[in-house]
Amino acid sequence: MLKCYKVFIRPIMEYGSTLYSPTLKCLIRKVESVQKSFLYRCSKKFNFEYQSYFDTLEAYGLESFLLP
């Protein structure tokens, strides 16, 4: 599931990021919510413990869309 996400979904979400370049946090959170929902559902489906979004990102080796 994670490999499919990295190959098919993540590139689509990143495709227009240079043109779209959301600067408002509310817009970034909307994009981020897709990834957050995916990770939460994957964790529940495969019985992995979901502690927090950022811990799960680190465990799966993904990066956040939020600006540093």
In this predicted structure, what is the pLDDT of residue 17?
63
More confident residue, 52 or 19: 52
Per-residue DSSP letters for 45-64? HTT-----HHHHHHHHT---
Which residue's entry shows tokens 């559902």? 41
* pLDDT exceeds cutoff 70 at 68: no
Q: What is the pLDDT of residue 19?
A: 56
Q: Where are the chain's structural domains?
A: 23-68
Angle subtended at Cα 48 by Cα 8 and Cα 33, rounded to the nearest 5 degrees: 45
Q: How far apart are CA 58 and CA 38, in angstroms?
A: 14
Kindly report, residue by residue over 27-55, the tens digit of the pLDDT.
Answer: 778 888 888 898 898 888 888 888 888 88
Which pTM value belongs to this model?
0.71
